[in-house]
Amino acid sequence: MILVFTTAVIALFSSIVWYVTSPLFEGESTVPLGINQGDLDRKKQVLLRQIKELEMDHHIGNISDEDFDGSRHTLKQEISEIIAELKKVS
Amino acid sequence: MTPVLGSISLSLGLGLAAISIFLFSVFLQKADYRFFVGGWRAAVLVSALSILATFLLLNELLASNFDIRYVAHYTSLETPTIYKVTALWAGQSGSLLFWLFILSVYTLIVLFKYRNSYTALMPWVIIVLVIVQAFFLILVNFVENPFSPTVADFVVANGNGLNPLLQNLTMAIHPPTLYLGYVGFTIPFAFAIAALITKDTGSVWIRSIRRWTLIAWLFQSAGVILGGWWAYQELGWGGYWAWDPVENASFMPWLTGTAFLHSIIIQEKKGMLKTWNMILILLTFTLCIFGTFLTRSGVMSSVHSFAVSDLGPVFLGFIVLILVVCISLILVRLPILKSEKRIESFTSRESGFLFNNVIFIVICFAVFWGTIFPVLSEAVRGEKITVGAPFFNQVNVPIGLLLLLFTGIGPLLAWRRTSNQAFVRNFTLPILTGLIVFIACFILGIRNTTLVSFPLVGFVLTAILTEFQRGIRSRTSRFNESIFVALKTLISKNRSRYGGYIVHLGIVFMFIGFSGNAFDSELEFALKKGEVKEFDGYNFELVSIQTVERPNHMAWIAALNVWNIQHQLVTRLFPEKRVYFHRDPNPDKRQPHSELDIHTTLNKDIYSIFSGIDTDQQIAYLKIMINPLVWWVWFGGYVLVFGTMISLWPAKD
């Protein structure tokens, strides 16, 4: 029983060592491109949602016309920059 | 073999935590993605092994393996299966392992969900999470190992059993819920630290942790409310909140977490309060660790003192480390945490949010001070000065009412500044409602705090409903929708905002319940079978006293008929007097316990306690309390949870 248990523990330990160290000897050393794209997409989604909320605030009178125009312009500009970056990455 | 495997899992987990941190450090220096993958895999294993260890301990609890000290201490052969499961978090080492278990589950979700995103933040996020895991792994490996063997010269045939106060179904839900809240704040904390280190302190990290913060806040809120429910159902003093140190410990991170959830809206929309937000989330996490320290160290006398140990210095050391790291990071990053805009008007939504934040922090400070004062006074002057409920109520009731007022004012204010025209338009109806309620209360002869709280409730309810009405009107005019469709679309397309308003409704309902405290009444009396006692418009008749023996206790059950003044039967109550471990030959080990019975209606609770019995004379010693409006506290809790879930529900892109 003890022998089986010891063997099982050694097998577990070896599997752990292999699982953690194997990527160090194979695979890509640079960050995959898709990851950066994902970040930019996420930022774009956040900004689009902010524009939607801004429009909602404007419609129910929680923000003045002047503020609305200014904030929407800034957000749209940020989105344009991200789209430009996304184009560069892809 | 299982205990050995459990200990090995915990040791391996700690080793892998160190390896994970090392591999991520190499990745950050060399920018070699292979080290990221290695570190990520090690972090996955830390969590997996911690989860495995928890299930191994659970297995031993269910199997009643009394060779493990923890199992022998917190369960017995008579303990019902459900309470063998809850024994996992009943004691010191088990609850620390449970903390680690929940953190590991959260960490696994983060690891898999964000594996391919937040490239700059993720290494630091994982490092912080693994460091917190490592802290708890150190505790369960070296200070309080849940797999420690029972030390005895004989075979332990049966265990001590679980504290009767913990043998309650709410106790099966309350601690895990609260832990899910406490531990959940580790995720936004990790993102905050990562944002500070990587200088990415804009609105994107705030957006990424908003849902995590809401999840933690939801569980923290539900945990606090369930704690109140448990105290009300189980402790037998007729209340749900006693300002006990451990209750306060769960309330403080809730306060700062709530403040954070409000102030991040300002950062998202206006780029303001960046430093403040950092302070709030770091403070919230620190208070979560402080709460665990208070619960687990036994430094405070509390109804929650189920475990006393020498963990205190280790926890204090960790808290100091967190504070030093956080304060240093914030100081170093102050230049990039400057606000992009300034608050321009006193009557703006921004200032409304700021006031609300200040109130939350003032309440938190008052609670913190009252909680630690007895310990400080003992350390400095050698005498322990108790700070009781009167102090907390005196300080927090007026501030709480101010907070309620701002719950109503906030949504009525416009961003940047509110024009005079908008001010009159938005405030007229809520103020009128508040005034009408005030006059009605005054005419009815109410002269206590409810003379302020009820009008405020009227004001805030109207303010929130007005906000819904404005949203519906906007949709009906723009899209020609019916009122019902407009309301449904309004909420589903703006879940975050309108879910938040529903949460505010829940808070208002809870304040209605809190106000009922001013009208509480109680009476203690003795009754013989067939006798009747009149109290507060009711007649209480003792019908019988029955003796019942159950697997883990024996009970005397009093059957009480409750009649109103029109001689109509209102309800039958069955409060119990129990004795746990009644078969134990040592009388000192037998534990008496009063199991309450409560008749609940919308406007009042009839709360009955069977506090003692004279078995020879068949006399029952009873305590009856009439607690008005308590139902609204629990109803408000449901509404709060419902609103938070609406906010959390993912919106369609």
Q: Which amino acid is present at B494? A: N
| Residue positions counted in chain A | 90
User: Which structure tokens are listed for B347?
Assistant: 């009557």
For residue B254, the model assigns a pLDDT of 97
The C-alpha atoms of residue B372 and residue B386 are separated, in whole angstroms, by: 10
For residue B307, the model assigns a pLDDT of 53
For residue B436, the model assigns a pLDDT of 97
Distance from CA of A82 to the nearest CA of B (A): 13
Which of A4, A16, A33 has the most B C-beta neighbours within 10 Å, making it the best mutation to test the interface with B? A16
CB-nearest partner of B415 from A34, A46, A62: A62
A41 CB neighbour count, 10 Å cutoff: 14
CA-nearest of B236, B305, B242, B171 to B578 is: B236
Distance from CA of A20 to the nearest CA of B (A): 5
The C-alpha atoms of residue B253 and residue B246 are separated, in whole angstroms, by: 12
The C-alpha atoms of residue B543 and residue B95 are separated, in whole angstroms, by: 43
CB-nearest partner of A60 from B1, B120, B471: B471
Q: Does A4 touch chain B (CB under 8 A)?
A: no
Are A45 and B16 within 8 A, CB to CB? no
CB B134 within 8 Å of CB B14: yes
For residue B652, the model assigns a pLDDT of 65
CB-nearest partner of B41 from A23, A54, A63: A23
Strand partners, B518: none
Which of B5, B208, B416, B653 has the most A C-beta neighbours within 10 Å, making it the best mutation to test the interface with A? B416
What ipTM does this complex have? 0.80
Q: B474: which chain A residues are within 8 Å (Cβ-Cβ)?
A: 56, 59-60
Phi, psi of B365 (to 5 degrees): -65, -45
Phi, psi of B548 (to 5 degrees): -130, 140
Q: Which amino acid is present at B4? A: V
CB B476 within 8 Å of CB B483: yes
Are B12 and A16 within 8 A, CB to CB? yes
Strand partners, B556: B547, B577
The C-alpha atoms of residue B591 and residue B111 are separated, in whole angstroms, by: 46
Pairing mode of beta strands B569-573, B576-580 = unpaired
B329 CB neighbour count, 10 Å cutoff: 17
- Closest residue, chain A, to B27 (C-alpha): A29
Burial of B98 (0-12, 13-18, 19+ CB in 10 A): buried
- The 3-state secondary structure of B382-446, one letter per residue: CCCCCCCHHHHHHHHHHHHHHHHHHHHHHHHCCCCCCCHHHHHHHHHHHHHHHHHHHHHHHHCCC
Residue with tokens 């906010």: B647
For residue B40, the model assigns a pLDDT of 95
List helix spans (H) across chain A: 2-25, 33-59, 65-89
CB-nearest partner of A28 from B33, B119, B422: B33
pLDDT per residue as tens digits for the range B88-146: 988 889 999 999 999 999 999 999 998 877 778 899 999 999 999 999 999 999 998 99
pLDDT per residue as tens digits for the range B271-297: 888 999 999 999 999 999 998 888 776
- The helix or strand, by DSSP H or E, that contains position B550, with its residue range, turns out to be strand B538-550
Spans in chain B with pLDDT lower than 70: 155, 297-309, 652-653
DSSP 8-state secondary structure symbol assigned to residue B29: H
CB B291 within 8 Å of CB B249: yes
DSSP 8-state secondary structure symbol assigned to residue B255: H
For residue A25, pLDDT over 80 is answered with yes
CB A66 within 8 Å of CB B414: no
pLDDT per residue as tens digits for the range A37-75: 777 887 888 788 888 888 888 888 778 888 888 888 988
Are A20 and B419 within 8 A, CB to CB? no
* Alpha-carbon torsion (B181, B182, B183, B184), positive or negative: positive
Q: Does A10 touch chain B (CB under 8 A)?
A: no
- Closest residue, chain A, to B473 (C-alpha): A60
For residue B63, the model assigns a pLDDT of 93
Strand partners, B408: none
Are A57 and B45 within 8 A, CB to CB? no
For residue B200, the model assigns a pLDDT of 83
Are A63 and B416 within 8 A, CB to CB? yes
Q: Does B474 touch chain A (CB under 8 A)?
A: yes
A65 CB neighbour count, 10 Å cutoff: 8
Terminal-residue alpha carbon distance, chain B: 51
| Residue positions counted in chain B | 653
CB-nearest partner of B116 from A29, A38, A57: A38
For residue B337, the model assigns a pLDDT of 87
Q: Does A29 touch chain B (CB under 8 A)?
A: yes
For residue B308, the model assigns a pLDDT of 56
Burial of B580 (0-12, 13-18, 19+ CB in 10 A): buried
User: Which structure tokens are listed for B567?
Assistant: 């001689």
The C-alpha atoms of residue B296 and residue B130 are separated, in whole angstroms, by: 22
User: Which structure tokens are listed for B122?
Assistant: 């993720």
B142 CB neighbour count, 10 Å cutoff: 12
Burial of B447 (0-12, 13-18, 19+ CB in 10 A): exposed
